[in-house]
């Protein structure tokens, strides 16, 4: 998996490419832990994400909780969105 982080003021965008699975989830976790305290908005860009496992979903939910709702996921494929719908997470997280 490839992770690209960009900053725009206090907004961090993390673009994910490839598979967010059990092996890649720790890498995303480390990236989230390294975010500065002044980040007030977090955006995940899933435009190039091909697959997400339960470990990846757990990291997304953890990021949502850490940001107290100042969190958006954009460019989600139908297949990955179906996973979020199946778990009910789509009711909590803002998707664009």
Q: What is the value of pTM for the model shown?
A: 0.93
CATH number, domain of 48, equals 3.30.750.24
Percentage of the chain lying above the pLDDT 70 cut: 100
Q: Which residues of the chain have pLDDT under 70?
A: none
Number of domains in the chain: 1
Among 19, 92, 16, 78, smallest CA distance to 54 is for 19
Q: What is the pLDDT of residues 33-52, one digit of tens each?
A: 999 889 999 999 999 999 99
Residue 47's domain spans which residues? Answer: 2-95
End-to-end CA distance of the chain: 22
**Tokens describing residue 61:** 């939910």
């Amino acid at each position: 998996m490839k992770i690209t982080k960009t900053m725009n003021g206090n907004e961090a965008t993390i673009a994910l490419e490839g598979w967010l699975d059990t092996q890649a989830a720790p890498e995303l976790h480390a990236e989230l832990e390294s975010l500065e305290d002044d980040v007030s908005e977090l955006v995940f860009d899933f435009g190039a994400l091909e697959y997400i496992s339960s470990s990846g979903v757990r990291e997304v939910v953890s990021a949502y909780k850490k940001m107290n709702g100042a969190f958006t996921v954009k460019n989600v494929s139908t297949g990955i969105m179906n996973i979020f719908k199946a778990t009910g997470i789509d009711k909590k997280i803002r998707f664009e």
